[in-house]
Chain A
Amino acid sequence: MSRKFFSGPFILILPSILAIGFVIIIPLIFSFYTSFTSYKLTRPDSLFNFVGLRNYERLIDNTKFWYAFGRTILFLAVVLNLELLFGLGIALLINKITWGQRTLRTIMMFPMMFSPILVGFQWKYIFNDNIGLLNNFLYLFGYESAIPWLIDKYLAMGSIMVAEIWANTSIFAILLLAGLLGIPRDPIEAARVDGCNSWQVFKNITLPFLMPFIFIALTIRSLDVGRAYDIVHIMTGGGPAMRTELIWTMIARIGYKDANMGFANAMSYVSIILSIAFTYYFFTKLVAARRDLGQQ
């Protein structure tokens, strides 16, 4: 068996496994180990100071961490749902336009060209309370006080969500548009002849057909949710008063600024599990939806 195993497929997959093993798995093993030590960046010897489960025990007691964790889940839930909704809307709209679609599609993908770090700076300036584009715009209409977009309890998180949604709705739009383009015409026309209205057609024919595409989009997006760190890091750095603190900004601060890497890596593991759970969930949904589609 071993000869067979080491032939064909294994050789073909080997480079991929090596690359991922080297760049992702080995570092993860190392950070897993450090999460059981009191490793401080500035004290290389502390790497061997084994503290057992202490970091994890503290994590469980740490209310700030769980707030950040909850906030991250909320953030992802809101952002992913809205992106899906807006992406669907844009896709439906562009699908109706027959003229200049290629240009429109490129325009639609415009925000995808923006590095997350740039998106952060861009929206930081738009939401600046003082000289920001948005407040300046409101002044035009005679609004006289400066709204502290990035400070206020609700607005701060909302502002970051707006930036995140602006940057990532494109990916949903382009994928769902692709799905719409592939829908066969016949069932829709048949339904119309049978007297279905637009909503019924959408609900009973278009949407089920789109489901796999929706899950593809969600899977692709869930691979990259961690990139929201760049945006938050630039816009607020998690502040003020931890109002926009997500699990990733917390890891970065505790790990690098406090140099408390052991504890930060324990947090990292929670964030890794979170990301993997999101991806896994959507991926299994996708596989199921594919199967359904195949049976139809």
Chain B
Amino acid sequence: MKFLKNFLVVFSLLTLPFSAFAVDENFPNDKVAIWGDFSGITLDVKLIGGAPYDPLYEVMIPIWEAKTGGKVSILSKKSHFELDKEIKQDIAAGNISYCVVSNHTSFATQYGDIYRDLNGIVPKDFLAEFVPLVLDHSTVDGRLVQLPQHSDVSNLWYIKSIYEDEDNKKRFKAEYGYDLAPPETLEQWKEQAIFWSDPPNFYGTQYVGKEEAITGRFYELVIAEGGALFDEGMRPVFNDEAGQRALQWFVDLYNAQAVPAGVLNYLWDETGLGFASGTVALNLDWGGWGAYFNSADSKIGGDVGLVRFPMGSGGKRGGWSGSHTYSILNGCPEENLEAAASLIWILTNHEAQMHEARGGKLPTMTRVWKDIASEMDAEGNAFMSDLFSTFSASMAEDAFTPPLIPEWIPFSNIIFPELQAAIVGDKSVKEALDAAAKETDYLMQDAGYY
């Protein structure tokens, strides 16, 4: 009965850790500042919305307006999937004359050439501050179409106390023959998840179960198992042994009831809130929830541990990664470009990234990685120090983007229903992957890859 008893106590408090913050309006820590007199200019923008995103806008945009004399008109603010739909409609109607838009490295390739190359618009010395690899991922066909705000990659969070309990250790050893410790491999992760589960009160782990979310999870498990989605000629190969092992992992957890029954309807909020409610032992998630997981608002505050993404049989870790970014559209009038660059600057500068990092989001600026680590060390915040050292290791060693091709989302829409079909048992793992591979083959042929 106690499962997610306090699911939504957590829920309503969610907005608290994401509240407004104070900044020094002179941005003393920024080496580069892009100001200007933009009075008379109104920038039309479309932004991603939601509790983790709004505070930044609420603080930075008024400062920008006061200092530059420009105005920001937010045409729409919605979730990324909705924004994606809206942008596609706008392209179809030729209605893309606004200036700044939220973007994502996994989505950007779909939209063709609607974006301006930021080289030449954003000063070089500001670009030099960013992690080169992340800028690389933001580049499509040699054009820097977006400037990254923060990155995401996932690692495994766990409830510490249950791993320290002597009784649990004894029982686990007796059953599985090795010492209980946070999982090192996918196999151990599965075994431990099954060990912890006591449905419907407590679950071993969980995964996001639909849309691009499960596609991405499957993708990183395929890599961890030593496989690949596509071969060099971009032909689908995910239905090989490695792919089947990866999908089998999802199926086994579901069949063992080690994940909640509704998991196929879960997206990021359900898994994040579920873990914070203290009824899930192991949770694969990005850093952005970190400060919140460990806060007093979460049922497991002070009891949260973190390990690197467990290793697959291929000797690799998962590391599906992407960055939330801002782009400038071609339709933005020439005279507004400087203002647009300035607005992007204030939303991605050192001060902005430090604020986001304090919540656990991963910075994209080389200097912020160092500065946030030393700030956390100085505060004696071992949890956050650990968060950044773990995540910086995975950003450096494991992170990889999905194939940066326009077909990524259509591909995802082909494969995710098949993954679900295998998980709920409508199809065997092999059947599901074969079916998805066949359809993907058509998709890639049509797109002219071979």
Contact = CB atoms under 8 A, between A and B. Distances in A.
The answer to A–B direct touch (Cβ < 8 A) is yes
Interface of A: 38, 41-44, 128-131, 139, 144-148, 150-151, 153, 236-237, 239-243, 245, 253-254, 256-261
Interface string B181-217: 0000000000000000001100000000110000000
B409 A258 contact: yes
A241 B421 contact: yes
A187 B200 CA distance: 60
Nearest 5 pairs between A and B by C-beta?
Answer: A129-B262, A241-B421, A241-B420, A148-B261, A240-B264
Given A128-B262, A131-B7, A139 B1 contact: yes
Contacts of A150: 262, 265
B225 interface: no
Contact of B262 (A146, A242, A261): A146
A146 B423 CA distance: 18
A131 B265 contact: no
Contacts of A43: 112
Contacts of B8: 131
A258 B265 contact: no
Interface string B406-418: 1001100100011
B84 A257 contact: yes
A97 to B, nearest CB: 41
B409 A257 contact: yes
Contact of A239 (B91, B260, B264, B410): B264
A129 to B, nearest CB: 4
20 contacts: A42-B110, A42-B111, A44-B91, A44-B92, A129-B260, A129-B261, A129-B262, A144-B1, A146-B3, A147-B261, A151-B264, A151-B265, A153-B426, A236-B265, A239-B264, A240-B264, A245-B417, A253-B413, A257-B409, A258-B413
A146 B265 contact: no
A163 to B, nearest CB: 15
Nearest to B87: A42
Contacts of B112: 42-43
Most buried by A among B7, B88, B420: B88
Interface string B423-450: 1101000000000000000000010000
B111 A145 contact: no
Contacts of B421: 241-242
Most buried by B among A41, A130, A131, A260: A130
Given A41-B91, A42-B406, A260-B410, A240 B1 contact: no
B1 A239 contact: no
A236 B85 CA distance: 18
B4 interface: yes
Contact of A130 (B1, B4, B110, B426): B4
A151 B199 CA distance: 17
Contact of A258 (B4, B89, B92, B410): B410
A240 B84 contact: no
A79 B423 CA distance: 29
B260 A130 contact: yes
B84 A146 contact: no
Contacts of B89: 41, 256
Interface string B259-278: 01110110000000000000
A237 B200 CA distance: 25
A241 B424 contact: yes
Given A239-B210, A257-B84, 14 more contacts: A41-B89, A41-B92, A128-B262, A130-B262, A145-B199, A147-B261, A148-B261, A148-B262, A239-B417, A239-B420, A240-B423, A243-B424, A256-B88, A256-B89
Contact of B210 (A240, A254, A261): A240
B233 interface: no
Contacts of A44: 91-92, 94
A139 B200 CA distance: 11
A256 B85 contact: yes
Contacts of B413: 253-254, 257-258
A153 B261 CA distance: 13
A239 B85 contact: no
A261 B88 CA distance: 11
Nearest to A45: B112
A236 B264 CA distance: 10
Contact of A240 (B4, B92, B265, B406): B265
B7 A130 contact: yes
Interface in B209-263: 209-210, 260-262
Contacts of B7: 130-131
B402 to A, nearest CB: 16
A148 B262 CA distance: 6
Interface in B78-134: 84-85, 88-89, 91-92, 94, 110-112
B200 A146 contact: yes
A241 B200 contact: no
Nearest to A131: B7
